[in-house]
Amino acid sequence: MFELIIRYAIEAVSSPITPLANAADWGVFAFMEVLNDSYYMGLALELAAKAAGQTGINPVVGCVVVKEGRIIGVGTHLKRGTGHAEVHALQMAGDEAEGATVYVTLEPCSHFGKTPPCCERIIAAKAARVVVAATDPNPQVAGRGLERLRESGIEVTVGLLEEKSRSMNEKFNKYITTKLPFVTLKTASTLDGKIASRTGDSRWITGAAAREQVHTLRHQHEAIMVGIATVLADDPMLTTRAEVPAIHPVRIIVDSKLRLPLDARVVTDRSARTLVLTTEGADQAKGAALEAAGVELVRAGAGEHVDLKEAMRKLGEAEIGSILLEGGGKLNGAMLEAGLIDKIMIYMATKIIGGLQAPGTFTFDGFEKMAQAIELERVAVEMAGEDICIAGYPAYSQH
């Protein structure tokens, strides 16, 4: 039996489009059916990943339709308001979809939104089986799509490569359940935790490979957020370079006192929207001038500083579902203290710059004891050229 399994597994790798369709031994066939399912779901996940950054507050979803060991349809969700992955794949499959297996990375929707429900499209196509990676956390779906498919007599399998699907849609999963944006903090630092020298020089801490990844991250988030100090110091464009997919994020500037110059590039450049987070009491005349220049103001909090929690709520109401935070130490620290950072990505250069006045990654009062420190969970460490990327998720629950 073991030799048969190995032989069929090798055949699956060498001829992946039609693996194991003629396995005679029932036990081997059952095992290989799971292997087939994993292969086709893997393809669906790859399709979904290619659309990262294009779907707005919608999830990324991939779909593969298979019949008699042959792929007859593929699809991915490309843009909010357009056809979902299942629709594209079934259109490609046409009449051959009858009796086929549909592999989809997220539970087919069962409600009318901007498009009709996908589960009804699958039922109309007379598919025999549907394999789903993850259920949809959207309260409007949440298992109803699976139930509708089963009611129609379609065999449904759930949970294959579930963690990959959920990780791919971590931004959507938070937004659809909380209506708050998923915030990824990205920063570049030296080994001693400095994000600039004591004179403010920060070009360049990391190398070309890390900087290229950052432009991809910008593409994959709906907005990029910085503090006013960053704008005053660097006058950045805060856009995505042409070498990577050129969907520019919304630019968000945290500016409590409305110090943003009218000739700053984030104001004069119209290739992307610019939002300024400020306070209720900030200068009304300056606010009007910025709005006349095309800037959108979001007033949050009546105090001296922007109320970041209220600001996140208002950004969520504006359907901004994900933010890449590229702030300085003070903004990073304030966001961390408020528990508003969902993921941290630190690109660390193997350099030491020192300097008592050199700014660090996080600037806030901090904790009195090491036991109080915020730890990262699900940590991953990778190389980005000569630099080290440490990524993880803050564990706020211990505080």
The residues annotated with a catalytic role in the active site are 86
Q: Is 334 annotated as contributing to ligand binding? A: yes
Is 241 marked as binding a ligand? yes
234 assigned to a ligand binding site: yes
Is position 204 annotated in a ligand binding site? yes
The four Cα atoms 125, 144, 41, 172 give a dihedral, to 10 degrees, of 120
110 annotated to bind ligand: no
DSSP state of 397: G
Task: Answer yes or no: are the C-beta atoms of 287 and 262 closer than 8 Å.
Answer: no
15 assigned ligand-binding residue = no
The verdict on whether residue 230 carries a ligand-binding annotation is yes
DSSP letter for each residue of 49-104: HHTTTSSTTSPP-EEEEEETTEEEEEEE--STTS--HHHHHHHHHGGGGTT-EEEE
Distance CA 228, CA 261 (A): 10
297 annotated to a ligand binding site: no
The response to whether 238 counts as a known ligand-binding position is yes
The Cα 289–Cα 269 span in angstroms is 16
Tokens in use for 145?
A: 């799509």
Q: Indicate the Cα dihedral angle 170, 109, 246, 92, nearest 10°.
A: 130
The answer to the question of whether 351 is labelled as a binding residue is no
Instruction: Tell me how far CA of residue 320 lies from CA of 181, 221, 327, 366, in angstroms.
Output: 6, 9, 18, 30
14 annotated binding-site participant = no
Read off φ and ψ for residue 256, nearest 5 degrees.
-60, -35
Q: Is 256 annotated as a binding residue?
A: yes
Which residues contribute to the annotated binding site? 84, 109, 118, 188, 202, 204, 218, 230, 234, 238, 241, 256, 326, 328-334
Which residues contribute to the annotated binding site for Zn(2+)? 84, 109, 118
Which residues contribute to the annotated binding site for NADP(+)? 188, 204, 230, 234, 256, 328-334
Which residues contribute to the annotated binding site for substrate? 202, 218, 238, 241, 326
